[in-house]
Structure 1
Amino acid sequence: MINTPSSVSNLPAAAQRGFGIYIHWPFCLKKCPYCDFNSHVREEISQERWRAALLQELDHYADLLKRSGGEGRIVSSVFFGGGTPSLMAPETAEALIQRIRKHWPCHNDLEITLEANPTSVESDKFAAFAQAGINRVSLGIQSLNDQDLQFLGREHSAAEALKAIDVARQNFARFSFDLIYARPTQNKQSWKEELERALAEGTKHLSLYQLTIEENTPFHGARRRGEFKELNPDTAAELYDITNDVMARQGMPNYEISNYANPGEESRHNLTYWKYGDYVGIGPGAHGRLTLTDNTALGNKIATRQHRAPEIWLSTVEQTGHATRTHSSVSVTERFEEMLMMGLRLNEGIKLVDIQNETGQNLNDLIQPNKMEQLEQEGLLSLGKNRIRATIEGRTRLNSVLSYLLA
């Protein structure tokens, strides 16, 4: 159930597919060698200054939406990401949640997620975060093998990970955790055993990512120097098949390429991204997509991005009330391309009516029909009466599928 303003039916189509608030906390205890996120290590952080600045930027976007016909939006999810947001003071999370509720009506079952690592420093604060209003936690476990945790540069052991899961279970109605597989020394049997061990913890949602070596990360340099070799691609593909098989038999199929859940336990916030809903992004480097009302049927979709460097972001917000570096309109063509890139990640694909509502055009007007038919014949795409979706094989080769469709 939701508290529904009378103006909700007049909202832009994107806002009706979900309206989320993303809050970026950019600090970590240590930078992991595989990570290319906007995360930083600092010896000292003024919790009071950061709390005030995040509230200021949130106020700025609430005011922007009010001035641009944004009344009636209903917040469906709040996500504290990072970095490591569990390093923030619980009072900061509480203040932001209260301010969000002041600015907008919210779903009665509003999902409020906090990313956390399984160190004792963070798990000891879980009760306080639950008291602050967090009702879902996403744990960066990454591995249940001590040797691989060391390789991944993690600060916790497998025992600490299992303890943190137990603490999360005691404090939150919903919890999820991440694992990284296709690690250099992994084989099919060891991954299957680790996955089954993870499932024994009783979570209803898992994020399972293949190890990817990103540029400008320590792992990228280490691989180039020959310090380790990536897992054979064929073996990695077999591990993906094993993952899908084990999770499906558990009743937790992948609703997105790397995310698995029991029905009803999907991440509502991430679904807003994948279904191309609207969302506010605040904090260093945070991105947003907002549909503002104008004199057109489609509205004016804007892309926002906050200044990436933490200290510059902080000083800019304190001086001007926000640190928006990018505030640009998204063309109809770009809207369709973004919708396709996000929506084909989902097992359910994209509703054709959503494409029509977002772009004002039919699918056949946006993509050459012969391209879609070719991909369907190759078993990479499924074209139904009401939706377009990538098959399992298509999702494993999604970059190639998108390149072909959008060329």
Structure 2
Amino acid sequence: MTNKKKNLLSLYVHWPYCESKCPYCDFNSHVTEDVDKDAWIKSYTNQLYEYKSLLDKFDVKFDNLSTIFFGGGTPSLMPVEILDHILNISSKIFKFKDDIEISLEANPSSYEREKFKYMHKLGINRISIGVQSLNDKNLQFLGRKHNYRDAETAIDLATNTFNNVSIDLIYALYEQNIDDWQNELQSVLNKFNINHLSAYQLTIEKGTRFFKDFKKGLLKTVDNDLAAEFFTRTKTILNEHNFQRYEISNFAKEKFESEHNLNYWNSENWIGIGPGAYGRMWYSNQDNKRVEIKNYKNPKTWLNKNYQNSEFENINIFNQYESDIDTLIMGLRLRKGIEIEKLNNKSIIQETKFKELEKEKLIIIDNDKIKINDDHLIKLDSILSYIIN
């Protein structure tokens, strides 16, 4: 990578437990079980210190922590003692930037809502609520434990507690009426002072219950033309409410983009602690190679490996080709695209195919950046498969 690095460092904290497993979810999440708080605190702490050693070993350049993201699973179910300790110890080890963004994912359950004000006092300054829908029938289909009243209560409490609130919504469900979806989206935007919205079309992921049902013919999905119409209406409505799309599925008001996720998509440095979490960093002394650190995925295995001394499942150093591919794939997710200068070797892109898509205006080169035409960003996977050498 070139001198376009910004010396940013993010921390991702994975909490693997949920009240139940949603049928569409392929994340590393497990149904809640008894938790030994002291063991989790010690294991998280050991990992943070081990990461500090690795940052020194690989001579990673960074200026204090710029973002922290508690994801899952359902991190709002994390005992507050663990949450508090992670914030304190990470501040001690890495120091915080003055304007650090600290995000936490939550669900609309009453138990989690009760903790919002306490989380704010601990230093959480951005909350992301897994609403998914404000339609009870769709919530039941998606396996969610809350209803639309729970969701409205959670959003209202969050916007009165935090200055930076995001919600997740899932749309384009089979038999979902597109006008109903439009009204649902309009209602959220008119009623609540949210700053960020992640809108995901329902996808069928391997390893989920929905995937098994789909294979058995028990579950259907919308056709491509209807999915495109859902997407177009979604983008239009959000734009009308001053939400601009800055990534494939993410929309934000001005200056409310997720800084943490931008660090991922811009291929900066981040570290990841907890079961299944991983980190990627730039190895400063090795021709700008990328280092990937993976954690053991199973929560019990992860605890056993990290309780006494921190142990990662794998540390892999990408070669320059792998680093460029990773940088390209992540960067083209962004509406603004990727700076050409970030690629060490431009030959990873097949020039003939690239020029073909450029002629068709699917790909644009603008101000030394490569980006996907906004109208075609949803086709990113197929475009990448076509142009990568």
1:143 and 2:144 correspond: no
Contact 2:20 2:32 in 1 (8 A): no
Gaps of 5+ in 1: 1-10
Contact 1:15 1:73 in 2 (8 A): no
Residue 222 of structure 1, CA deviation: 1.6
Q: Matched residue pairs, number?
A: 388
Residue in structure 2 matched with residue 4 of structure 1 by the alignment: none
Contact 1:285 1:309 in 2 (8 A): yes
Change in Cα spacing, 1:288 to 1:339, as seen in structure 2 (3 Å) is same
Q: Deviations over 1:276-330 (max 9, x none)?
A: 1110011100011012332x4x3342111100000010011013x2231110101
Residue in structure 2 matched with residue 221 of structure 1 by the alignment: 212
Residue 34 of structure 1, CA deviation: 0.2
Structure 2 residue aligned with 1:380, among 353, 362, 366?
Answer: 362
Residue in structure 2 matched with residue 205 of structure 1 by the alignment: 196
Superposed, 1:301-340 pairs within 5 Å as 301-319=290-308, 321-340=309-328
Change in Cα spacing, 1:13 to 1:60, as seen in structure 2 (3 Å) is farther
Residue in structure 2 matched with residue 406 of structure 1 by the alignment: 388
Structure 2 residue aligned with 1:112, among 68, 78, 102?
Answer: 102
Residue 12 of structure 1, CA deviation: 8.1
1:341 and 2:329 correspond: yes
The residue type equivalent to 2:281 in the other structure is L
Q: Deviations over 1:124-144 (max 9, x none)?
A: 111111111111010000000
Residue in structure 2 matched with residue 122 of structure 1 by the alignment: 112
Residue 15 of structure 1, CA deviation: 5.3
Q: CA RMSD in A?
A: 1.7
Which secondary structure does the structure 1 equivalent of 2:131 belong to? strand
Contact 2:11 2:67 in 1 (8 A): yes
Structure 2 residue aligned with 1:56, among 42, 46, 49?
Answer: 46
1:257 and 2:245 correspond: no
The residue type equivalent to 1:259 in the other structure is N
The 1-side partners of 2:371 and 2:28 are apart by: 31
The 2-side partners of 1:14 and 1:327 are apart by: 25
Residue in structure 2 matched with residue 189 of structure 1 by the alignment: 179
The 2-side partners of 1:346 and 1:277 are apart by: 14
The 2-side partners of 1:94 and 1:171 are apart by: 18
Residue in structure 2 matched with residue 24 of structure 1 by the alignment: 14
Change in Cα spacing, 1:395 to 1:71, as seen in structure 2 (3 Å) is closer
Of 264-273 and 389-398, more deviation after overlay is shown by 389-398
Gaps of 5+ in 2: none
Taking only the aligned residue pairs, the percentage that are identical comes to 38
The 2-side partners of 1:146 and 1:368 are apart by: 48
The residue type equivalent to 2:315 in the other structure is H
TM-score (norm 1): 0.92
Structure 2 residue aligned with 1:393, among 354, 363, 375?
Answer: 375
Change in Cα spacing, 1:21 to 1:104, as seen in structure 2 (3 Å) is same
Residue 14 of structure 1, CA deviation: 7.1
TM-score (norm 2): 0.96
The residue type equivalent to 1:98 in the other structure is N
1:274 and 2:262 correspond: no
